[in-house]
Structures are given as structure tokens and as C-alpha cells.
Amino acid sequence: MIGRGTKRGKGQKMPEWTDFFAAEVGASAALAGLVIVAISINLAKIISYPWLPGRAAETLVAPTGVLVTSSYMLVPHQPAQQLSVELVATGLVMWLVPMVIQLRTVLGASKLPRRSMAVRCVLTQVSALPIVVSGIFVWTGAPDAIAWMVPGIIASLIATVINAWVLLVEILR
């Protein structure tokens, strides 16, 4: 059984990570709220561009994924295998949904800057795949399994801020 005071992966006790994941729950919830406000403020403008509704939806995936992942990490006395499945499933959703949106965007719009799409694609990979890797490592009991989530969580928050900026400010240019 995994929980507070027990190990999640060799050498990783949950109390060492509790503050981090509690902070990420709050930060990701606040960021998701910001994105919802940004979308609602500029909804008419977002809908007027065929590729922006997908980007708005994509933007909500990252902070929601961080919120869900961090919440799973705070559940006490959770078996490692259950946590592993939750992390892998969440990471795969965080990867699949934006990738589908990005693929549809690329196929449907020919005037989008390639650099912008490349950045979005890279941020999706860097956000989601470390969560998947961490879930696999939690299953195997690998050392530093939890630490693998950190770059994914940070990248998710960065991607969300970038997309929120586009939906709130850049759209008005």
C-alpha cells in the first residue's frame, strides 16, 4: 500500500512530495479558471477563427491533467499499481487530446505558422509523456519515479500560460 509515510518508488516518501502536489493542485485550478475566463471574454473572436476553438479546448487539457495528476498523488494509502494506472491514463489523455486537435488543425488550416504548431506539439510531448513515464516507473518501483512528473507538470503550466496569452491578448491584434 502506498500512502503518506510510505514509499512510492524506492527512496521516495510521500510527505516529501505532499507540499509540491498540494501547490500544483491550487496552481492548476487557478490556471484553468484563467483559461475559462480568457475563453469567455473572447469567445466571439475565438469562434470566428476555425483553428482557435480547438486551441481553446487544448489549453484546458494541460491544467486539468496537472490538477488530476496532483490530486491522485495526494490520495492516502493508494496501492502503487492503482496510482500507476491513474498516472498513465491521465498522461495518455493529456497527450492524445491535444495531438488530435493539433493534427486536425494542421490538416484543416494551411495558413498557420509552422513554428507555432511545432512549439505546441513539442509542449504537448514534454507535458504529457513524463507523466506516462512516471506512471510506468511507479508500477516498477523505480527510484525517482515521482520526480519524472516534475518536468511534465512544469511544461503543462508553461503551455497553459502561453495558450492563455494567445487566447486573451494575441487574438486581439
Q: Is residue 9 part of a domain?
A: no
Residues 145 and 12: beta-carbon distance below 8 Å: yes
Has residue 117 been placed in a domain? yes
Residues of the chain with confidence (pLDDT) below 70: 1-14, 109-110
Query: Could you list the residue range(s) of the whole structural domain that residue 83 is in?
Result: 15-172
76 inside domain: yes
pLDDT at 32: 94
Question: pTM for the whole thing?
Answer: 0.86
Residue in the block written with cell 508500477: 139
Q: Is residue 6 part of a domain?
A: no
Instruction: Determine the pLDDT at residue 4.
Output: 39
Please report, for residues 61, 94, 99, the alpha-carbon distance to residue 39 in angstroms, rounded to integers and kept in the order given: 14, 20, 20
On whether residue 145 sits in a domain, the answer given is yes
pLDDT at 13: 55
pLDDT of residue 9: 46
Domain count, the chain: 1
Question: Residue 86 and residue 68: Cα distance in Å, rounded?
Answer: 9
Q: Does 5 fall in a domain?
A: no
Q: Let me know if residue 40 belongs to a domain.
A: yes
Cα–Cα distances in Å, from 84 out to 16, 65, 140?
19, 15, 9
Residue 138 lies in a domain: yes
| Tens digit of each residue's pLDDT (9 = 90 or more) over 35-60 | 998 899 899 999 988 888 988 999 99
